[in-house]
Structure 1
């Protein structure tokens, strides 16, 4: 209010000397006294400043003097009362601090007394002056004398309770039977701290229930300089509050023991709203807190002063003075009310006029007013800026106006006639406008009736906006959309966009319409086959959007998902890529791009069939190379069978054979026949052509089968095989025949490499090691074949996996290529490295890894579902 009075015009301040500024001019100005010399006393300076002020400003300051006097008086009273009150509060705060410190010393002395008693008990235990029974007796005596002690225990270095006694009122958690073991979490690390520091240690308040919290004291025990345990005393914090706090402190303050998190462990405190205040600006309630020594910051003593009544005399005196001062101020302001209203009305009118003028001048939209005859009566600066003509040149002009292009006079004249007759369109219309320099721009005009304050129409108001740039942008967007549509229509892939959970199609290109038509069933079919359709939430059945609450930001930021599906109605394999996006109207939509991959799938299937034939041919070649060794291996059981049969025939003819001898001979004959049958069965299973069939396979069994077939060839080359298979290997999801083929090929190559190297019999050996390994944060099983040959030449290591490339003169060059393809089809890896002894190559090591958690699954039986997706095994083939 003071600021408004200071900023008010002179008419308000000189109300009692005149009502207008004209009256002030009529009164002759008093003669100015001669200027006093510079300097002088402060009173002289004040007089000179006052005389330089105009009369209106002198009257304003003279009128404000009583108001300022009343406010200063009220301020002085408030400051005096506040000062006295704060003095009283400081004295009370000092009393609270002194009493809390005294109470803390009392609790500290009580804790130190109990600590001394427990330390004396610990010394007796260290000196072995008391037994466990005597310890329990003394503990019972202490607990009965001092109620804050809840339990006393003797704990050895291994946390085993040797003796313990607890108060009858102690919680069950403090009952520790003899021989029980304390958990490592008990004591909050105080046991370990007492062991390390060899001095009494207090723990933090323990217990989930704040009102039943306990305090633990660990007194270390030593035996010949070594730590032998502790004497553990457990205090009830509530008992420590009731028996250790002076009664006069409890009667005078609200006292409580808090932990380091501010929880009330014992006692109670007043909430801040319960404390009465004497003045509105009174400080916070009187309180003080201090850590309880020797526990430390884990236990805090806090006290608050009681407020039972207000200082009625002091506060009443303050409010009476305030009410009288407010009444005086109100009476002073009442004398200015009639002049202030008039001045406010004048200022409001001037402000409204200036605001409207400033608003019209700052508008970017051109405004033009026509009377009922079509004559221009008003234009704003924006209209003049657009057309280049000044206000004086436009006001009063009639059609044709100077900003009309010459070619559009007839059209614009017809438009003006429609405007004057009230036939203008509500949405506006576009026209061409000519600037003064002759340039043309596009504009949109809106026409509305001009109504005066009495409600009569006096003309027409027209607003004009320059739309040259928006029109250019709209044309560019239209051209960009045409280019975008042309590109999508020319794609050989079907592109469709549809909202989630709706049959509406938002976009579909030419290829989609050719395959599926214009409806959305094709889009839904592709999404269902690809398995990328999210499920709406079942909890919002009443919502308008079934997918409300879904994490759309995560969906739209995610990458595209691919799937290969077979569409029966098109008889085509399609690669379907789906992606979530936010449509132009804000809805969550799903885009599907389907490309025809039928030729590629046919090529992949042809390549898979060729690879299978190559694997079968490799196994046949391997068995062909091993034919002589296999024949020799089969000759032994067949010869033994013939010998046993001939011997039995001879002895039967001579009747020199008993029933037991015949039975033994027949058993040996049967074993030899079974051996020959197993060899033939293993060879047939190995060379038999079959589809890859991943199944859970035992590693040891696969290695045993491979060794059984490869050992025949190795014995022919006089090579010793040393296998090692780790115990408890996990099962692998592989095709066992293919893995056996890899092992046989590697063992056969190792034997041939040793034979070509011409090693002496003592150096002809192969090491086969199978064991677990962790590779790239993945559990794998490693197979390694280490030989003692000449190794692989360094220049050939990079090419040994190429098709039809071999280091052997008679080799075909498809063995290692197939081995690597088989390993990689099982998501494994294969490598080769030479073994060096200094600079000399003393062998070679082929190794490969198969992951334990393989993504291969056992292939399902052929059926309708098999045509809709590709498994990892089919892709590997």
Structure 2
């Protein structure tokens, strides 16, 4: 037995480092322990790499600081040398200026001294003596100067040239340096203006011009020019002379130790900030970046970290695969136990190796009773064993049906159910087939429902096929026929031509057909109902199909087909027999109208005879008078012509009465034309006045001005007016009204009914009105309140008005609580007048056949 550690032998209060981390480590799961175990080496490598990089970075910063101090020191030394050289030249020029002020130097002596100075100090390029009037008295230039910069004695400085510095030197009476000007090919110059004094007055300046390039070449020490890239800059950081270090690769500047080149700038005295001296250190070695040891450490650390990360990722993938396998196994087990599909696995010899809970629940046998069994299986029905054995043989030899097959399965209690089996091969991890997996689904209930649906479909089809109406369904915008019953196929065949012909001939609205290119711009369902199509109201029309020789009543409606497409259903019924019956009814109604007119004229015969008696008597009197006066030769030509003219007018009047009666009575087909209302009213009044005068009834009428013409049959409208006026006269006579109250009024005025322009005809009488029981049966055929009446007058009147798309009504007129008369009115729409052809066709189709 090993000895316990010393720390565990000490009392707990004296143990400074209790092993708490051990308890924490043991509480972690193995996965987390593996993760921490992998992170520790990786963290150590990363810390080591960080320490190496930090050390190299620190050394690089130290080296850069030392280089920066060296550059600063050398630049300040070079600046002192340039400053001393400029001051020496300034002192020499001031001595020359003093000698000139003391009249010790003339122009020739100035040129000699200038030549000596320029030969001794190469940075000096030009020395010029300028008087107080800016005129050049003497000048000497170095042989290397360009011709454009030479100054000729006697000339005046050009305007703007050194003007500001000249004025500043004059005002300050001190030497003044101008701002250096950059030139081309090393011609940049620096000017120094030294003022001259002539007995305390300004006497001009000595202008010395330095070559900036020469000042840099001869004033900066050679050892500094060899170590650094030295340059002179102006106040705007533009290089006047010298060179510079080319920029480094931008990729290397991303590294922390790849700093910018060491440089230092300092202004040059006494010029000031206008002239700056800058030095940049050359890169003479690769430094620590090129060290092989550094890169070796980096590569080893990267490889170690990569190996640790790869090992950690491999371990992580292995753990994830294990977890996924466990989850997949649990998921599949839960799915197999929860689903209703039975699963059965067979080996290559047909032995059952696996069944799930659903399979056992379907068959009634347990897993222990089924696993290991060989054919024949206990759930095979005895009568189907040969067929099932053949199926199993096909299954084991790979001759499976992709869509599965249907069999009968026997439960343990002996009952049978229908099932569908699907077979797929079982393959192991090496790709070898180890057996067959069969899934079994109970389809007893779906089979029952399918049989019911099939029976329902057969009943539905039988009903539709037995209908005496044609039924067809076609999608909108297509010539495909979705459904057609037997009668449709008998009439039109199996194509959609008959459907489209009925839709087009009936004028049923159909959605416009569009091409695929126009689908983005045109809505193909514009104008269709926006509500549910199942509640849409059917559209009816009656058409004649010449190919069939039949009249069809077409009803259509929109519906959503089973595949979601918008379709149109058309139901066509053969109404040929009904149309024939309507035509016969129309003919009978026409004969009834003629009979009514004949009866009317029969009742008016005495009045007509009395009316005709007057013109005939007048004709007789005129003729007798003419004969007697001619015989007695007592008549002149003028009197004879006057008598003959009166006789002619009376004969015309009698002929008009007879022609009006013949036109009214004779039987004719409906003939609708644009008729003048005033003419119709005048002719009706001419016929009715005879009856009204006979019954001593006063007639008044009012016809509104500028009434439109109506598309009507004028004879039929006149018949209605005559009938209403006669009824009014009979009602007044039956009421025994006194002479002052025996009046009938006819009014014709325009009206607006339901946003439709109409012309209303109304007949008002002063009779006793209509009783309520009479009002209910007023338009009933063969109902009459008169003993000798036939009861067809008002019925025919209403039929005529409705055939002209109008309406007729009757109402009593009250004077307080007393009935003062009755008012019959009817109106005819004016819309037909805008299209005479359409109105005529409509009138011919309807006529009086709607009675």
Q: 2: CA distance between counterparts of 1:53 and 1:413?
A: 63
Following TM superposition, by how much is the alpha carbon of 1:479 offset from its aligned partner in structure 2, in angstroms? 0.8
2:712 corresponds to 1:734:
yes
Q: Following the alignment from structure 1 to structure 2, what is the Cα–Cα distance between the partners of residues 786 and 656?
A: 54
Task: Give me the whole-angstrom Cα distance separating, in 2, the residues matched to 1:35 and 1:405.
Answer: 80
Deviation at 1:845, TM superposition (A): 1.8
What does the per-residue CA deviation read over 1:241-300, in whole Å, with 9 as the maximum and x for residues that have no partner? xxxxxxxxxxxxxxxxxxxxxxxxxxxxxxxxxxxxxxxxxxxxxxxxxxxxxxxxxxxx
* 1:474–1:791 distance in 2 versus 1, CA, 3 Å: same
Tell me the distance in 1 between the aligned counterparts of 2:21 and 2:699.
Answer: 120
CA distance in 2, matches of 1:733, 1:35: 126
Quote the Cα distance in structure 1 between the aligned partners of 2:358 and 2:723: 91
C-alpha contact (below 8 Å) 2:680/2:717 kept by paired residues: yes
Q: Structure 1 residues 722, 50: CA separation in 2 closer, same or farther (over 3 Å shift)?
A: farther
Q: What is the match of residue 96 of structure 2?
A: none
Using a 3 Å threshold, how does the CA distance of structure 1 residues 409 and 380 change in structure 2: closer, same or farther? Answer: same
Structure 2 counterparts to residues 84-483 of structure 1, below 5 A: 338-339=311-312, 341-359=314-332, 360-361=335-336, 362-483=338-459
Q: Is 1:552–1:588's contact at 8 Å kept on the other side of the alignment? A: no
Give how far 1:657 is off. 4.8
Q: 1:410 deviation in Å?
A: 2.8
| Residues 615 and 722 of structure 1, relative CA distance in 2, 3 Å threshold | same
Distance in 1 (alpha carbons) for counterparts of 2:731 and 2:527:
61
Provide closer, same or farther for how the CA distance between residues 551 and 844 of structure 1 changes in structure 2, counting only shifts above 3 A.
closer
Range that drifts further, 759-768 or 790-799 = 790-799
Contact 1:566 1:869 in 2 (8 A): no
Q: Tell me: CA distance 1:62–1:460, structure 2 relative to 1, closer, same or farther (3 Å).
A: closer
Corresponding residue to 1:639 among 617, 627, 637? 617
Name the CA distance, whole Å, in 1 between partners of 2:773 and 2:690: 32
Of 650, 661, 672, the match for 1:672: 650
**Structure 2 unpaired stretches of 5+:** 14-18, 44-303
Other-structure match for 1:871: 845
Partner of 2:28: 56
Structure-1 residue corresponding to 2:114: none
User: 1:695-734 to 2 correspondence within 5 Å?
Assistant: 695-734=673-712
1:807 has 2:805 as partner: no
Distance 1:380 1:451 in 2: 19
- The residue that corresponds to 2:590 in the other structure is 612
Count matched residues. 571
Which residue number corresponds to residue 276 of structure 2?
none
Matched with 1:842 is 820
State how far apart, in whole Å, the 2-side matches of 1:405 and 1:427 are. 23
Taking structure 1 as reference, are residues 820 and 427 closer, same or farther at Cα in structure 2, changes over 3 Å only? same
Question: Whole-Å Cα distance in 2 between the matches of residues 752 and 874 of structure 1?
Answer: 26
Matched, 1:564 2:537: no
Contact 1:694 1:856 in 2 (8 A): no
Cα distance in 2 between the residues matched to 1:626 and 1:869: 30
User: Unmatched 5+ residue regions in structure 1?
Assistant: 1-26, 37-46, 68-330
Query: Is 1:763 the counterpart of 2:737 in the alignment?
Result: no
CA positional deviation for 1:528? 5.0
Q: Secondary structure at the match of 1:876?
A: coil
Describe the SS at the equivalent of 2:776. coil
Per-residue deviation, 1:448: 2.0
SS at match of 1:713: helix
* Kept in 2: contact 1:693–1:858 (CA 8 A): no
SS in 2 for 1:704: helix
Give the TM-score, by structure 1 length.
Answer: 0.57
Which one of 724, 743, 749 corresponds to residue 746 of structure 1? Answer: 724
Distance 1:662 1:539, change over 3 A: farther
Aligned to 1:796: 774
Matched, 1:625 2:607: no
Structure 1 residue 729, shift from structure 2 partner = 2.5
Aligned to 1:577: 555
Provide the residue aligned with 2:576 in structure 1.
Answer: 598
Alignment partners' CA distance in 2, 1:601 and 1:809 = 36
Q: Which has the larger radius of gyration?
A: 2
Superposition CA RMSD, Å: 4.4
Distance 1:808 1:668 in 2: 42
Change (3 A) 1:828 1:533: closer
Q: 2:267 matched to which residue of 1?
A: none
Indicate the residue corresponding to 2:165 in structure 1: none
State how far apart, in whole Å, the 1-side matches of 2:652 and 2:540 are: 53
Post-superposition CA distance 1:175-221 (Å, at most 9, x none): xxxxxxxxxxxxxxxxxxxxxxxxxxxxxxxxxxxxxxxxxxxxxxx
CA deviation digits over 1:16-38, x for unaligned, max 9? Answer: xxxxxxxxxxx99x99x9999xx
